[in-house]
Amino acid sequence: MDTTLKFSALLLLMVLVSVLVNASTFNNDFGHCERVVQKWASSSLEQKVKEDKHTLRDLLFFLHVPRTGGRTYFHCFLKKLYSSSLECPRSYDKLRFDPHKQRCRLLVTHDDYSMMSKLPSERTSVVTILRDPVDRVFSTYEFSVEVAARFLVHPNLTSATQMAGRLRAKTKGVSTLDIWPWKYLVPWMREDLFARRDDRKLKGLNNVMGGDPYNMEEMVMPLHEYIYDPIARDIVHNGATFQVAGLTNNSYTEEAHAVRHCVQRHKVLGEHVLKVAKKRLDNMLYVGLTEEHRESATMFANVVGSQVISQLRSSNSSMENAADNKLEQSSSFSDSNPNDDDHQNSSSDQKASDTVTSENAEAVKGNMTAGELMESYEVCISSLRKAQSHRRTSSLRRISPANFTKEARHQVPEVVLQQIRSLNHLDLELYKYAQDIFANQNGRTILEFHSTERWKSIFNKSHEFALWQVLSLGMTIVLFLFVFIVFVNARRTTLKIKI
């Protein structure tokens, strides 16, 4: 009796000590983390505010958050605006600036905001598109599986990976497997798909019953497992916030990884990151929303497209006497990255950039209006989407009966959705903020667009210039302002109520 009492007292003491030690290491870690995150945040917030963020600068940086639909903007807007000679060179996964190519005007990449440390930041305009975080996680999961499933034509994993390596060496292009975050997510899913296939063979499982494609463990890693894997935690969740803050797993800044890990361990520290990310969005030339696709694209054509057209047209005519300019540019670009291990053969780019004067893309040559640019965009996306959906169908056939459809998404249990929301709490807040920015931006462009169109038509037909036209224009503007203010106010109140 005596000994058991002693023993339990000892046990209690040990438990107490271990709890205390744990608590104190937690406190130590929290204190340490708080200092690390605060230091980073205050130095990031220090950067001076850009006056005139609405004007396009020399370099356009498209901060492409994965699975937000940025690819269609790249192919259907930017490729029509900028010739490939104006595109900044990309190497395999990390972009390295090639000091020989000083005149590039466009950079589209999954690299995060820390990329700005390599760019002439005062002469760079940043644009981005954000998406509802839950949909973004779904899409990331589906795309990882889709790309990985293409490898199932191979008899085994070894031959699949070998083949992928050979293919990449041969094509020399940039493949999905070279690009962050897919270079981590796809091999992970690929390995998993092969393991599940081998398992089915072993068990003699030939017919898998249909059902919830997001929870079909015989075929694919279930979604609820995927979201809790350390890789998804490191790369997928709060991915938009980390990318805008410059803190992804792929960041260029040294302290980024410590800051990110601290924020992942201590939820409250996320506030500092959000503050930085919001300010970055505030300073961007354009923020689009995947959900508001038509409005976003129209705004892009009006805000970005039309400025690119006039900028490139005027730079073409003044190219000859721009020698001074060029000199200044080369000096600021060359201090960007001394120790680069560039894999890219840039001689062809260099040649192309020498002939830049006569080589503008079609939209610029044709001096398209924003409306015309939008028309050509619509045609372009419909063919792009067709190709994408064809590829997706043929790839998902390999993991049939699992098939990711809109209807199936609605069947995913609320618990899982709630988990995704909780894992992406920073992205949820940033997305709300982006929606506000978008509403403001949209109100402004509608106003500007309509008023300039009206004035033009009035001056063109000056012989029928009449007082009522001015009056009706005035009324339209007042009406727009009124609707806009009511809208913004309504939005604010609903936001407050939600909080």
Q: Which is nearer to ligand NAG, 238 or 435 (CB)?
A: 238
Query: Distance (Å, rounded) from C-alpha 407 to C-alpha 360?
Result: 44
Residues 89-118 that bind ligand NAG (CB under 6 A): none
**Among candidates 243, 204, 293, which has minimal Cα distance to 426?**
243
226 makes contact with ligand NAG (CB under 6 A): no
Contact window for ligand NAG (CB under 6 A) among 80-88, 164-172, 229-237, 379-387: 229-237
Yes or no: say if 460 and 408 are a contact pair by the CB < 8 Å rule: no
Taking the complex as a whole, the smallest distance from the CB of residue 479 to ligand NAG amounts, in Å, to 27
Taking the complex as a whole, the smallest distance from the CB of residue 136 to ligand NAG amounts, in Å, to 18
400 makes contact with ligand NAG (CB under 6 A): yes
355 makes contact with ligand NAG (CB under 6 A): no
Query: Distance (Å, rounded) from C-alpha 277 to C-alpha 258?
Result: 17
In angstroms, what CA-CA distances link 139 with 134, 283, 389, 477?
A: 9, 28, 13, 40
CB atoms under 10 Å from CB of 322, counted, come to: 12
Contacts of 80 (CB under 8 A, 6+ apart): 361, 362, 363, 373, 376, 377, 380
Member of 18, 357, 383, 418 binding ligand NAG (CB under 6 A): 357
| DSSP 8-state code for residue 86 | G
In terms of phi and psi (left: phi > 0; alpha: psi -120 to 50; beta: otherwise), the region of 67 is left
364 makes contact with ligand NAG (CB under 6 A): yes
Contact window for ligand NAG (CB under 6 A) among 81-89, 390-398, 411-419, 464-472: 390-398
207 makes contact with ligand NAG (CB under 6 A): no
Taking the complex as a whole, the smallest distance from the CB of residue 429 to ligand NAG amounts, in Å, to 24
Residues 122-181 that bind ligand NAG (CB under 6 A): 155-156, 158-159
Yes or no: say if 246 and 256 are a contact pair by the CB < 8 Å rule: yes
Q: Which is nearer to ligand NAG, 162 or 494 (CB)?
A: 162
Contact window for ligand NAG (CB under 6 A) among 81-89, 116-124, 389-397, 415-423: 389-397
Query: Distance (Å, rounded) from C-alpha 428 to C-alpha 430?
Result: 6
Bridge partners of 128, per DSSP, are 63, 287
Query: Distance (Å, rounded) from C-alpha 443 to C-alpha 488?
Result: 9
Bridge-based pairing of strands 59-63 and 106-109 is parallel
330 makes contact with ligand NAG (CB under 6 A): no
Contact window for ligand NAG (CB under 6 A) among 50-58, 294-302, 330-338, 354-362: 354-362
Give the helix/strand (H/E) hosting 124: strand 124-130
Does residue 107 sit in helix, strand or coil?
strand
Residues 478-497 that bind ligand NAG (CB under 6 A): none
Taking the complex as a whole, the smallest distance from the CB of residue 433 to ligand NAG amounts, in Å, to 26
Q: Which is nearer to ligand NAG, 64 or 260 (CB)?
A: 260
- Measured at the CA of 371, the angle between CA 103 and CA 85, to 5 degrees, comes to 20
Member of 93, 192, 234, 429 binding ligand NAG (CB under 6 A): 234
Yes or no: say if 260 and 247 are a contact pair by the CB < 8 Å rule: yes
397 makes contact with ligand NAG (CB under 6 A): yes
Query: Distance (Å, rounded) from C-alpha 214 to C-alpha 221?
Result: 8
Q: Which is nearer to ligand NAG, 264 or 403 (CB)?
A: 403
Yes or no: say if 128 and 83 are a contact pair by the CB < 8 Å rule: no
Place of tokens 């961007």: 284
Q: Which is nearer to ligand NAG, 32 or 351 (CB)?
A: 351
Sign of the CA dihedral with 149 first, then 155, 157, and 162 last: negative
Q: Which is nearer to ligand NAG, 127 or 259 (CB)?
A: 259
Residues 282-321 that bind ligand NAG (CB under 6 A): 313, 316
Taking the complex as a whole, the smallest distance from the CB of residue 369 to ligand NAG amounts, in Å, to 6
Contact window for ligand NAG (CB under 6 A) among 164-172, 352-360, 434-442, 481-489: 352-360
| Total site size for ligand NAG, rule CB under 6 A | 28
Taking the complex as a whole, the smallest distance from the CB of residue 235 to ligand NAG amounts, in Å, to 6
Taking the complex as a whole, the smallest distance from the CB of residue 428 to ligand NAG amounts, in Å, to 23
CB atoms under 10 Å from CB of 432, counted, come to: 14
Q: Which is nearer to ligand NAG, 93 or 429 (CB)?
A: 93
Member of 383, 393, 452, 494 binding ligand NAG (CB under 6 A): 393
Taking the complex as a whole, the smallest distance from the CB of residue 199 to ligand NAG amounts, in Å, to 15
The alpha helices in 238-322, defined as continuous H runs, are: 239-245, 256-265, 270-282, 293-300, 306-317
Query: Distance (Å, rounded) from C-alpha 118 to C-alpha 267?
Result: 30
Residues forming contacts to ligand NAG in the complex (CB under 6 A) are: 155-156, 158-159, 184, 231, 234-235, 249, 257, 313, 316, 345, 347-348, 357-358, 360, 364-365, 367, 369, 393, 396-397, 400, 403, 405
